[in-house]
């Protein structure tokens, strides 16, 4: 098997992003055998070049999947252009992943303000966030980052490598900016505005008034990762106000 084929198989089979060092250790003998008198530095350069070739090849329009850098490693994922068909396929397999709104809010605050303490997070959210912190720690989406040098020395929290993996990010710098969020919210409000009533619409009689329907606050909201890939395992919090999250790993 060629070096490139070995690397391709490793990246495909890996459940977590495979780092260059991990890949090199697995294919080192093949890389050294391809070139006489080659040392490890030369062999690692050859592995890196083969990996870059694979990234370029899968990036071509003829492929429905791609090799992306995620959380310091490489993994295969479906391309954003295939979001709709993959999303439909994923929903036919198993229920989507759900994360409660309080947990998502707390995670967002930590992601943008990290490292942050519980009092700082609670002040931003306006409610006590201690219980949600425990859930996020249990899900390994956040971890401790020492203590803040103030009275009481509260614990600091930051996001983890698992957080980057779940949301398909190379690092936290790929998070949308506040300006991008404001634009998305504005567009969302425009889409939600009701269409103008028809001129010949019929006025409701007295018996029909007071029965306007409200949107269900518990309806699930979907959150797609950077690669718009398909669903992974559950990382939920509580059943109320569920949020769907999508992992960037493509299913076999």
Q: What is the pLDDT of residues 8-22, one digit of tens each?
A: 999 999 989 999 999
State the chain's mean pLDDT as an integer. Answer: 78
pLDDT digits (tens, 9 = 90+) for 140-181: 899 999 999 999 899 999 999 989 988 888 898 888 887 887
**pLDDT the model gives residue 196:** 55
What confidence score (pLDDT) does residue 1 get?
A: 66
Complete DSSP assignment for 191-248: HHSPPPPPTTPPPP-GGGTT------TTS-EEE--TT-----S-----SSS-EEE--S
Buried b / exposed e along 164-185 (16+ C-beta atoms within 10 A): bbbbbbeeeeebeeeeeeeeee
Domain ranges of the chain: 3-58, 111-158
Contact residues for 18 (Cβ-Cβ < 8 A; gap 6+): 10, 11, 73, 74, 75
28 membership: H or E segment, kind and range? helix 20-33
Give per-residue burial for 58-83: e unless 16+ CB within 10 Å, then b.
beeeeeebbbbebbebbbbbbbeebb
Report yes or no: 10 and 67 within 8 Å, Cβ to Cβ: no
Q: Is the peptide bond before 115 cis (omega within 30 degrees of 0)?
A: yes
HEC profile of 111-139: HHHCCEEHHHHHHHHCCCCHHHHHHHHHC
196-224 average pLDDT score: 44
Query: Mind listing the pLDDT tens digit for each residue in 48-104?
Result: 999 999 999 999 999 999 999 999 999 999 999 999 998 888 888 766 557 889 999
- Write the pLDDT tens digit of every residue in 119-146: 999 999 999 888 899 989 988 899 999 9
The CATH class of 111-158 is mainly alpha
Q: pTM of the full predicted structure? A: 0.54
What local confidence, expressed as pLDDT, does residue 97 receive?
56
Provide the phi-psi class of 36: left if phi over 0, else alpha when psi is between -120 and 50, else beta. beta
Q: For the segment 48-58, what is each residue's pLDDT rounded down to a tens digit?
A: 999 999 999 99
Q: Quote the pLDDT of residue 63.
A: 93
Cβ distance 207 to 63 under 8 Å?
no
């Amino acid at each position: 098997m060629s070096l490139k084929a070995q690397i391709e198989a490793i990246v495909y089979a890996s459940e977590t992003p495979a780092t260059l060092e991990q890949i090199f250790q697995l294919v080192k003998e093949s890389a050294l055998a391809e070139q006489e008198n080659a040392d490890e530095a030369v062999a690692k350069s050859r592995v890196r070049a083969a990996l870059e070739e694979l990234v370029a090849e899968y990036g071509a329009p003829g492929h429905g999947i791609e090799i992306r850098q995620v959380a310091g490693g490489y993994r295969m994922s479906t391309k954003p252009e295939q979001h709709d068909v993959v999303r439909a396929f994923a929903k036919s397999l198993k229920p989507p992943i759900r994360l409660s709104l309080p947990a998502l809010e707390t995670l967002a605050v930590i992601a943008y303000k990290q490292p942050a303490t519980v009092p700082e997070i609670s002040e931003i959210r306006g409610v006590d966030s201690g219980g949600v912190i425990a859930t996020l720690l249990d899900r390994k989406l956040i971890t401790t980052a020492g203590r803040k040098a103030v009275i009481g020395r509260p614990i600091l929290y930051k996001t983890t490598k698992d957080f980057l993996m779940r949301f398909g990010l190379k690092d936290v710098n790929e998070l949308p900016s506040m300006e991008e969020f404001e634009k998305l919210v504005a567009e969302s409000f425009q889409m939600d505005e009701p269409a103008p009533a028809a001129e010949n619409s019929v006025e409701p009689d007295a018996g029909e008034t007071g029965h306007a329907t409200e949107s269900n606050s518990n309806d699930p909201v979907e959150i797609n990762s950077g690669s718009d890939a398909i669903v992974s395992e559950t990382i939920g919090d509580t059943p109320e106000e569920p949020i769907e999250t999508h992992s960037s790993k493509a299913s076999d």
